[in-house]
Chain A
Amino acid sequence: MSDVTNTKAAKTNNIGLEKNDYKGLPSTLCKGCGHDSVSARIINVAYDMGLPPHRTIKISGIGCSSKSPAYFLGRSHSFNALHGRMPSVATGAMAAHRDLLTIGISGDGDTASIGLGQFKHLLRRNVPMLYIVENNGVYGLTKGQFSATADEGQTLKYAGVNELPPIDICLEAIVGNCGFVARSFAGDPRQVETLLKAAISYKGTAVIDIISPCVTFNNHLSSTKSYPFGKDHEIQLQELSYIPHYEEITIDEYDDGTRKKVQLHDGSWITLKKLEKGHDPTDFGQAVNILQEAQSKKELITGLIYINNNYKDLHSVLGTVDQPISSLQEKDLRPSRESLEDIMAGMR
């Protein structure tokens, strides 16, 4: 930096932090990897929204994608856990500390293969967190095997032809009772950021399946998870914007058939203008259909696919105290001496 900029006060966000405060270590991923662009989006969004770094945690599984939490939000606690097991670790952390804002980072192998069971059960419990899948249709870190989201019939240099149909992460999420399901494309930064903001404002598991190309092993036109394919074929379902809760919403006549606004738990809004597919993300049936149709036509549809504010989340089911239970100390955790005497009296 030059002396001139140094003397100028750096730009800060609403909690007085600079963009730099949200950055991480330099990435060690391949140059151009989609995952790095997702990290950059997270940094922007965290800065824009003024996320408190100390209350934000990052949890990941194993894979190139799962390594990426090292490259953003360096001031936040982070846990690079086990392959496919990020959901259970996140569930435990959230059960312990309900005030944390949890960002889960996973890959398509991590979520749709080894971790499919934990993924579905996390959704079932509706653990409040942002769940990002950086989906490249391939195992990056183990060098180019097909993942369970790879397109049927596509070819990879190392793995040959994939004969099996893909698992659609968004479809799994919707039928798994997830109340916030979106798909985006790492090459569409504006949409990724809008969806990230809305997902962070949502209370419950918010899944964003981000097509995040692996430039080293799966970046050719024959894959729907590649940059060339996405650039040419991305079909946005809506024009999205995010209006934070502290800003006034100016347009009243939203729900007019072509436009829609949905309020999120923290009072923010996501507004959407329908595009040619005319998709209504509050309609479960439409959401399932549009995904199935896209899969059979090998289309890359992006946007907010399903939203439902009515699912009960983990903490309301557990009925825990309002403060984080990890902050409770001995006086709240150890019952009295007398209570033990009473219980023992019943054992005599």
Chain B
Amino acid sequence: MSETSHASEPQTAANGARQINDFCINVATANGTGSQTSNIALLRAMFRMGIPVAGKNLFPSNIQGLPTWYNIRLSKAGHIAHRDVAEILVAMNPKTVAEDLTKVPSGGVIFYDTALPVKEDREDVVYYAMPVKDMVKSMSVAPNLREYIANMVYVGVVAELLGIEMEMLRSALDTHFSGKKKAVDLNMQMIEMAAEHTRNNLPKRDPYWIERIEGGNKDLLLVEGNAAGALGSVYGGVNVVAWYPITPATSLADGLNEYLPQLRRTSEGKSTYAVIQAEDELAAIGMCVGAGWAGARSMTSTSGPGISLMAEFAGLAYQAEIPTVVWDIQRVGPSTGLPTRTSQGDLGFTYQLGHGDSRHIILLPANPAECFEFGYKALDLAEQFQTPVFVLSDLDLGMNLWMSKPFVYPETPMNRGKVLTAEQLEALNGNWGRYADVDGDGIPYRTLPGTNHPAAGYFTRGTGHNDKAAYSERPEDWEGNLQRLRRKFNTARKHVPKPELTQQDGGSFGLISFGTNHNAIIEAMEMLKADGHVCDYLRIRALPATAEVGEFIEKYDRVYVIENNFDGQMHGILLQDNPSHATRLASLSRQNGMPLSAIWLHEQIKAAHERFTKALA
């Protein structure tokens, strides 16, 4: 990294140290003022300067007026987890400014709109006053654009003082406005005007610098999890989509609506897919189940409230063995309250969704590249196992822009599962059983409507069928079916994505987690190591848990299961799977609507493990 190349430059801060590419910026605005364009331009410009960045939009359930914070973290070490503390505040919201100011740590910086009631009364921070209104006035823009363009003022001031390159801001806006020059020019004009004002009136007094890292972020993408999931599904050949709007899942459907027309139309302009905005989630999954039954690769995207409505169909699809894919972008629930806050609270419910006994395959992406990967893998698994497959992402991953490894084009051909054609039926003399376990793996064969053979048709119903799909209430038929379904589930254990192991020399205890907790865990592991606590970490990427999970647990006296829900739902599932190791597993879960932070994890793991080792001694 470029730290050393600047060592000779003058030092500005009182304590002498320049803080380069390693701090957080918190932008406080009101929802609906258009600040998102400004914040994303800042983020993307830094990304294009080669600096590891992460952006988090903390927004209310509201269209206009309620407070919004945008948190940008720069980390030369590449840590992109949520951090609770931001050294730099950009105060633009009169309603929250009082509290926002108190959160700035000693040594921090406050950029504020002069219209806000800010008294420069703290000695331990640096203030920069931004006369936003005057600057906007000096630009001749239509009155309806004033509020929006006002957000470009802080972009210009912050860029000038911290060192964000103007050319990168322009290129970021160019991406944002898809090359619409007029919009780019208008915004840049405001940014440059604010930068010039800063050069003339606001000498730099803080120690924070943003400096280009040559070759940094090479090949990486800056992308939202939902866009990645949509794209992965498109490359997975999804051809029937039914969905109902809900934050934070809507942008996944938006992604499908953007990429499908682009990538999946014939030369005559006809679609190789159907996207239907359903009347509710119940209908959405009903359509997916109907389509999956008829041979389509179907999917829907939703969040917790939608999952609740999908319960009956999920159970039916499980018992009738119909493929479909459900993305759940988890949020805090139920009902209203914190629908725009993140959570991993749907895991337990989704794992057994449906009445009677059901167990579902669940994929657990942790980053956009994995959203892409699971986009096509979920469709493969659904058809391979003739069952609904759930992908549990979350608001944090789905709706924020993340640095991501490039997406890997699917290496294997599509897996369309065990589908009998008319020719195969002929070869079997029409002798087949829809729910017979011919191969011993629990996965039966199916036929699709439209198959031109007299023996192709069968009768689909939820419960009450025998091997040949004939109506049956015989206890042994029903029990045999449940046993086969469990056999099938255990076959899936060998085929779902395997967990990812992070091992350190001398790791003496284990961490297990999944999804977006990953970044905070990696960072916390470094902090723990500095304290002399060396641990290994297994990130589960799918349920049912594969053999590696049990083997990992077996290796340590203590394994902490880390998750972003209150009940420790994964902990519960692992206890069920590994009853003989129950005493090794300890739950470490939290849910407050925010992503887990490394600082919190470090504290909690350290305290818990010190208690544990003390008790042992």
* B and A form one assembly: yes
B444 partner residues in chain A, CB cutoff 8 A: none
Given A88-B287, A348-B222, answer yes or no on A57-B449 (Cβ-Cβ < 8 Å): yes
Given A54-B450, A100-B449, A340-B409, answer yes or no on A326-B294 (Cβ-Cβ < 8 Å): yes
For A75-98 the 0/1 string (1 means CB < 8 A from B) is 111111110010111111111110
Q: A81-B290, A92-B298, A97-B294 are in contact. List 16 more A-B contacts (CB 8 A).
A: A54-B449, A57-B294, A77-B448, A79-B460, A80-B461, A90-B290, A91-B283, A118-B286, A319-B269, A326-B295, A326-B450, A328-B237, A329-B414, A333-B414, A334-B235, A347-B221
- In the complex, whether A337 has a CB less than 8 A from a CB of chain B is yes
A248 partner residues in chain B, CB cutoff 8 A: none
- In the complex, whether B316 has a CB less than 8 A from a CB of chain A is yes
- In the complex, whether A320 has a CB less than 8 A from a CB of chain B is yes
Bound Cα distance A100, B451 (Å): 11
Bound Cα distance A85, B270 (Å): 29
A347 partner residues in chain B, CB cutoff 8 A: 221-223
B270 partner residues in chain A, CB cutoff 8 A: 319-322
Q: Are B271 and A320 in touch, CB under 8 angstroms?
A: yes
How far, in Å, is A170 (CB) from chain B's closest CB?
21
- In the complex, whether A335 has a CB less than 8 A from a CB of chain B is yes
Q: Which stretch in B273-281, B356-364, B385-393 binds the other chain?
A: B273-281
Q: Are B457 and A97 in touch, CB under 8 angstroms?
A: no
Q: Are B414 and A334 in touch, CB under 8 angstroms?
A: yes
Q: Across the two chains, which residue of chain B brings its CB closest to A77?
A: B449
Q: Are A92 and B456 in touch, CB under 8 angstroms?
A: no
A4 partner residues in chain B, CB cutoff 8 A: none
Q: Across the two chains, which residue of chain A brings its CB closest to B217?
A: A348
Which of B264, B294, B451 is the one whose CB lies under 8 Å from A92? B294
- In the complex, whether B590 has a CB less than 8 A from a CB of chain A is no
Q: Which of B265-319 contact A (CB under 8 A)?
A: 266, 269-276, 278-280, 282-298, 312-313, 316
Which of B263, B313, B413 is the one whose CB lies under 8 Å from A330? B413
Q: Across the two chains, which residue of chain A brings its CB closest to B368?
A: A347
A89 partner residues in chain B, CB cutoff 8 A: 286-287, 289-290, 293
- In the complex, whether B209 has a CB less than 8 A from a CB of chain A is no
- In the complex, whether A228 has a CB less than 8 A from a CB of chain B is no
A52 partner residues in chain B, CB cutoff 8 A: 452
Bound Cα distance A13, B471 (Å): 30
Q: Are B286 and A340 in touch, CB under 8 angstroms?
A: no
- In the complex, whether B407 has a CB less than 8 A from a CB of chain A is yes
In the complex, how many residue pairs between chain A and chain B have their CB atoms under 8 Å apart? 219
- In the complex, whether B600 has a CB less than 8 A from a CB of chain A is no
Q: Are A97 and B413 in touch, CB under 8 angstroms?
A: no
A75 partner residues in chain B, CB cutoff 8 A: 454, 456-457
B282 partner residues in chain A, CB cutoff 8 A: 85, 88, 118
Sorted nearest first, the 8 A-B pairs with minimum C-beta distance are A88-B286, A92-B290, A333-B237, A326-B295, A92-B287, A96-B296, A89-B290, A92-B291
Q: Are A100 and B294 in touch, CB under 8 angstroms?
A: yes
Q: Across the two chains, which residue of chain A brings its CB closest to B296?
A: A96
- In the complex, whether B180 has a CB less than 8 A from a CB of chain A is no
Can you identify 25 A-B contacts, CB atoms within 8 angstroms?
Answer: A54-B449, A54-B456, A69-B459, A75-B454, A75-B456, A77-B448, A82-B313, A85-B313, A87-B286, A88-B282, A91-B283, A92-B294, A95-B240, A95-B291, A96-B274, A96-B294, A96-B295, A97-B450, A100-B294, A100-B449, A318-B274, A320-B270, A328-B237, A335-B235, A347-B222
A318 partner residues in chain B, CB cutoff 8 A: 271, 274-276
Q: Across the two chains, which residue of chain B brings its CB closest to A347?
A: B221
B237 partner residues in chain A, CB cutoff 8 A: 328, 330, 333-334
A57 partner residues in chain B, CB cutoff 8 A: 294, 449
Contact size class for A? Answer: 35 or more
- In the complex, whether A346 has a CB less than 8 A from a CB of chain B is yes
How far, in Å, is A64 (CB) from chain B's closest CB?
14
A residues contacting B by CB (< 8 A) are 21, 25, 52-55, 57, 59, 69-70, 74-82, 85, 87-97, 99-100, 117-118, 121, 125, 318-322, 324-330, 332-335, 337, 339-340, 343-344, 346-348
Bound Cα distance A88, B316 (Å): 14
Bound Cα distance A254, B282 (Å): 46
Q: Are B235 and A340 in touch, CB under 8 angstroms?
A: yes
B313 partner residues in chain A, CB cutoff 8 A: 82, 85
- In the complex, whether B234 has a CB less than 8 A from a CB of chain A is yes
B562 partner residues in chain A, CB cutoff 8 A: none
Bound Cα distance A80, B449 (Å): 14
A343 partner residues in chain B, CB cutoff 8 A: 231, 259
A334 partner residues in chain B, CB cutoff 8 A: 235-237, 410, 414
Bound Cα distance A325, B266 (Å): 12
Which of B222, B296, B459 is the one whose CB lies under 8 Å from A80? B459
Bound Cα distance A75, B449 (Å): 11
Given A91-B290, A333-B297, A335-B264, answer yes or no on A319-B271 (Cβ-Cβ < 8 Å): yes
Q: Are B312 and A80 in touch, CB under 8 angstroms?
A: no
Given A78-B460, A85-B286, A118-B283, answer yes or no on A92-B259 (Cβ-Cβ < 8 Å): no
How far, in Å, is B468 (CB) from chain A's closest CB?
12
Q: Across the two chains, which residue of chain B brings its CB closest to A17?
A: B454
- In the complex, whether B175 has a CB less than 8 A from a CB of chain A is yes
For B147-166 the 0/1 string (1 means CB < 8 A from A) is 00000000000000000000
Q: Which of B304-356 contact A (CB under 8 A)?
A: 312-313, 316
- In the complex, whether B65 has a CB less than 8 A from a CB of chain A is no
Given A320-B273, A328-B239, A343-B231, answer yes or no on A79-B293 (Cβ-Cβ < 8 Å): yes
Q: Are A92 and B239 in touch, CB under 8 angstroms?
A: no
Q: Across the two chains, which residue of chain B brings its CB closest to A326?
A: B295
- In the complex, whether B612 has a CB less than 8 A from a CB of chain A is no
B459 partner residues in chain A, CB cutoff 8 A: 69-70, 78, 80
Bound Cα distance A344, B286 (Å): 33
Bound Cα distance A348, B406 (Å): 9
Q: Across the two chains, which residue of chain B brings its CB closest to A348?
A: B221
How far, in Å, is A61 (CB) from chain B's closest CB?
11
Q: Are A92 and B240 in touch, CB under 8 angstroms?
A: yes
A337 partner residues in chain B, CB cutoff 8 A: 409
B66 partner residues in chain A, CB cutoff 8 A: none
Which of B220, B223, B298, B461 is the one whose CB lies under 8 Å from A96? B298
Bound Cα distance A57, B259 (Å): 32
Which of A80, A81, A99, A325 is the one whose CB lies under 8 Å from B239? A325
B236 partner residues in chain A, CB cutoff 8 A: 334
Bound Cα distance A54, B294 (Å): 12
Q: Across the two chains, which residue of chain A brings its CB closest to B313?
A: A82
Q: Are B290 and A96 in touch, CB under 8 angstroms?
A: yes
Given A74-B457, A335-B234, A347-B223, answer yes or no on A81-B259 (Cβ-Cβ < 8 Å): no
Given A54-B450, A92-B290, answer yes or no on A77-B458 (Cβ-Cβ < 8 Å): yes
Q: Are A324 and B450 in touch, CB under 8 angstroms?
A: yes
B460 partner residues in chain A, CB cutoff 8 A: 77-80
Q: Across the two chains, which residue of chain B brings its CB closest to A24?
A: B459
Q: Are A77 and B456 in touch, CB under 8 angstroms?
A: yes
Q: Are B235 and A77 in touch, CB under 8 angstroms?
A: no
Specify which of B279, B298, B413 lies most central, judged by the most chain A CB atoms within 10 Å of its CB: B279
